[in-house]
Amino acid sequence: MSYEVETPVFAGPFDLLLHLILQDEVDLYQVSLGGIIEAYLDEIQRMEGVNLAVATEFLLIAATLIELKSRRLLPDTSDLDLEEELALWEERDLLLARLLECKTFKDASQALKALSIDASLSFPRLVGMEEQFLGLMPDLLEGVTPLAINEAYHRATVPKPQLDLFHVTPVKLTVAETVEFLVEELSTIGKTTLRELTKSTVDRVEVVIYFLAVLELYKQGIVDLSQIKTFGDLTISWIGFDQNTDYAEINTYEG
């Protein structure tokens, strides 16, 4: 996630693609798919230490671009399955539509920025009520008991099950979902303990699911586990993928 916030230039794959296509304003038609793919891959290479989820998104687009290009390099296009051909063009159109949408909001955000810069030149009066009238103000604590304060504190600080860890409220968490989540989380933080991972969970069942998910990752050789003493903290270390594992978060692309 840190990449997304800190990057000076590209906040995402569409951002990068937009830039690569639009950078050369003079020779619009010189832009070649091949050139874009090369530049795109170069950029991805430059991004060292990008978190997995982000990298996957970039790679997915690169793959689409390369597929578009490679289809064209085939000696005889008539060999192509018509359905596949159409699917490919659909893919391209989708990418185009997304780029247009991305560009639209990019420009809109500049308008918002301009508005906010203008607005920031004007300072509101926040002085509030004059002393002479303060006595008139109604007692806002009317009817509030010490117990109500206690309850309000609990409301404000109670662990929230739907923190920011999930895209949707986890009604019923599955092991598969947790595996996916852990892949994203662990690739970023590297090393942690099961206790740490499950500290915001509310149900015991959730802890069990986490545990099963961690075991699954261990079985696949994606994480390493160690436990110094019996009943001690279970330490989980991220090892990473080998080539044929596939947890790509392609779902993110379904608008």
Partner 1 sequence: MQTEESRKAIEAILLVSDIPIDASLLAQLLEIPKTEVEKICTQLMQEYKKDHRGFVLVNVAGGYRYQTDPTMAPYVERFVLEGQNSRLSSAALETLAIIAYKQPISRMQISAIRGVNVDAVIRTLQQRGYIGEVGKDPGPGNAILFGTTSLFLERLGINDISDLPPLANFVPGADVVEALEGGLRPDHVGEKLESQPHDEVAIIANDETNSD
Residue 85 CB, nearest distance to partner 1 (Å)? 12
Count of chain residues binding partner 1 (CB under 8 A): 107
**Does residue 36 touch partner 1 according to CB under 8 A?**
yes
Distance CA 171, CA 190 (A): 27
Nearest to 223 by CA among 232, 233, 213, 231: 213
Q: Is 247 helix (H, G, I), strand (E, B) or coil?
A: coil
Closest CB to partner 1 among 67 and 224?
Answer: 67
Where in 67-86 is the site for partner 1 (CB under 8 A)?
68-69, 71-72
**Does residue 57 touch partner 1 according to CB under 8 A?**
yes
Beta bridge mates, 193: 235
The first and second tokens of residue 188, run together, are 């970023």
**Does residue 205 touch partner 1 according to CB under 8 A?**
no
**Does residue 61 touch partner 1 according to CB under 8 A?**
yes
- The binding track of 166-195 with respect to partner 1, each residue x by CB under 8 A or -, is -xxx-x------------------------
Where in 111-170 is the site for partner 1 (CB under 8 A)?
111-113, 115-116, 118-130, 132-134, 136-142, 144-160, 162-164, 167-169
> Using CB under 8 A, which of the segments 64-72, 78-86, 215-223, 231-239 binds partner 1?
64-72
> Using CB under 8 A, which of the segments 41-49, 94-102, 220-228, 240-248 binds partner 1?
94-102
Give the phi and the psi of residue 103 in degrees, each rounded to 5: -65, -40
Distance CA 144, CA 148 (A): 6
**Does residue 87 touch partner 1 according to CB under 8 A?**
no
Residue 246 CB, nearest distance to partner 1 (Å)? 18
The residues near 142 (Cβ < 8 Å, ≥ 6 apart) are none
**Does residue 96 touch partner 1 according to CB under 8 A?**
yes
How far CA 162 is from CA of 169, 173, 194, 215, in Å, comes to 5, 12, 19, 24
Residue 192 CB, nearest distance to partner 1 (Å)? 13
**Does residue 107 touch partner 1 according to CB under 8 A?**
yes
**Does residue 210 touch partner 1 according to CB under 8 A?**
no
Closest CB to partner 1 among 49 and 128?
Answer: 128
CB of 213 within 8 A of CB of 178?
Answer: yes
Residue 118 CB, nearest distance to partner 1 (Å)? 6
Residue 222 CB, nearest distance to partner 1 (Å)? 20
Where in 228-247 is the site for partner 1 (CB under 8 A)?
none
Distance CA 196, CA 234 (A): 10
Query: Position 208: which residue type?
Result: V
CB of 53 within 8 A of CB of 249?
Answer: yes
**With b meaning 16 or more CB within 10 Å and e meaning fewer, what string describes 198-212?**
beebeeeebbebbbe
The first and second tokens of residue 16, run together, are 């990068």
Beta bridge mates, 237: 191, 224
